[in-house]
Amino acid sequence: MAIRINRVYTRTGDDGKTALADGSRVAKTSLRIAAYGVVDELNSVVGIARAERARGEYVGNADAARLDAVLGFLQQELFDLGAELATPPAGAYEGMIRVGDASITRLEQMIDELQEDLEPLTSFILPGGGPAGAALHLARTVCRRAERTATALVETGEAEPGPARYLNRLSDLLFVQSRWIAAKSGKTETLWRKGLEPPPPGRKTRRARRDAATKASKGEQK
């Protein structure tokens, strides 16, 4: 199907409603709009990860280029996923692209392949691992929100479970990708240390300085 966009603004959404893929109109606050809206947000964050990968220390890194190719494919698939979520059951048509078992299996295979290059985890990971790794961690958290929203749509009977399942696996893949690119680019990951004490030294507050001065003064008077 050819797509042609002549104008960016249409003024048709000024009444608080927007059109779905089948032409029907719903409130912009509807759960379906939220579902594919978060998928669009996720796609944008994956784009940020790709932009980070294309500069700095990642330039000329074959592993980073390999990651970029996968992320580019995932962006295309996310657009298809958004289109599926934007289509209500009554608007489904023959030949419509749906995220199914084959797509989910492919994500699992990608995860298993990358895991072979990584050491087993001994704790949770704090988001980071270089610019690209941090961006992928952000994508992972947005993906989890997209999964929750899609799941809520499934619970209303207005969507098939495939998109939510896909987003669940994709969040796992994004996590593994963040670890993988950190390892392949020599970035250090920070493990979570439960109950870390004491906190690192920092700038004292005015009250802390005053209390310290009072304590010192009392010590001199003894």
Q: Is 85 helix (H, G, I), strand (E, B) or coil?
A: helix
Q: How many helices (H) and strands (E) does the chain have?
A: 6, 4
Give the pLDDT band of residue 202 (cuts 50, 70, 90): low
Say whether pLDDT at 46 is over 50: yes
pLDDT reading at 154 higher than 70: yes
Distance CA 41, CA 43 (A): 5
∠ CA 216-221-222, rounded to 5°:
100
Q: Is the confidence at residue 14, as pLDDT, over 50?
A: no
Q: Which CATH superfamily is domain 17-221 in?
A: Cobalamin adenosyltransferase-like (1.20.1200.10)
Q: What average pLDDT does the chain have?
A: 82
Which residues pair with residue 126 across a beta bridge?
A: 190
The pLDDT value given to residue 190: 79
